[in-house]
Amino acid sequence: MELILIRHGRVASGERVFTPEGRSNPPLGEIGLAQAQRVVNRLEGKHVDAIYVSDLIRTHQTAEPLAKQRGITPIERPAWGEVYLGEFEGRSFASLLQEQDPTYLKFLEQRSWETFPGAESDAQVRARISQAMEEIEEAHPTETVAVFTHGGIINAALAIALQADRMVLVSPENASVTSIWMRPKPPLVITVNDTSHLDDRDPLRHGPIYEAR
């Protein structure tokens, strides 16, 4: 079966929004809503049997155009929600990099979510994503499933598929597509961070700019 992981579109700028449980939960902005439609264009001609979303609004909004076009009701699974970052929850990685935040730089070096005070542990993230992937495999053993999720979760899924002992550190763009063949075993990563459908996204040109120190 093929697992298509789609990162949510770009969120609205401005005031940070959280769930009652303290999870960052901003809606998509104008660009993000347009990116959600581009995902539909990217998957044109691609058969999709099921759509999964996390419990956060940005994945629901990104999935909506595809779900409407295909006549599929998305299945919500909180396990596909973003990694909880404790004291850093809701802060932008791009801003942290631009600021050369020492905690974020340590995270890049160690590749461990536990670098952030109060964050989920690497083991907790890996366990819940392993279980979520297994659930989809069992429910859709020969089908194609699109999961609208988050950047940290795509990293975790890649690490699991590649049987890496540590987190695979990539930077999925908003509304990017990552595809993994889960069956037959072992898993085969087909594409990572595909942004060919997003005219304004070129990671080499649009990455954060900061002064070396």
CATH of the domain at 89: 3.40.50.1240
Gap between the Cα atoms of 163 and 208, Å rounded: 30
The total domain count for the chain is 1
Give the pLDDT score at 213.
Answer: 38
Q: Is residue 88 part of a domain?
A: yes
Gap between the Cα atoms of 73 and 80, Å rounded: 17
Question: Is the Cβ–Cβ distance between 31 and 207 less than 8 Å?
Answer: no
Gap between the Cα atoms of 113 and 132, Å rounded: 19
Q: Is residue 94 part of a domain?
A: yes
193: left (phi over 0), alpha (psi -120 to 50) or beta: left
Q: Is residue 187 part of a domain?
A: no
Q: Is residue 120 part of a domain?
A: yes
Give the pLDDT score at 159.
Answer: 95
Q: Is residue 75 part of a domain?
A: yes
Q: Is residue 115 part of a domain?
A: yes
pLDDT by 10s per residue, the chain, length 213: 999 999 999 999 887 899 999 999 999 999 999 999 999 999 999 999 999 999 999 999 999 999 999 999 999 999 999 999 999 999 999 899 999 999 999 999 999 999 999 999 999 999 999 999 999 999 999 999 999 999 999 999 999 999 998 888 888 999 999 999 998 888 999 999 999 999 766 555 555 444 443
Domain span including residue 75: 2-139+152-176
Phi, psi of 143 (to 5 degrees): -110, 175
Q: How far is residue 43 from each of residues 20, 70, 122, measured CA to CA in Å? A: 34, 11, 32
Q: Is residue 8 part of a domain?
A: yes
Q: Is residue 59 part of a domain?
A: yes
- Single-letter code of the amino acid located at 153: I
CB atoms within 10 A of CB 153: 24
Both tokens of 127, joined, read 């366990």
- Single-letter code of the amino acid located at 198: L
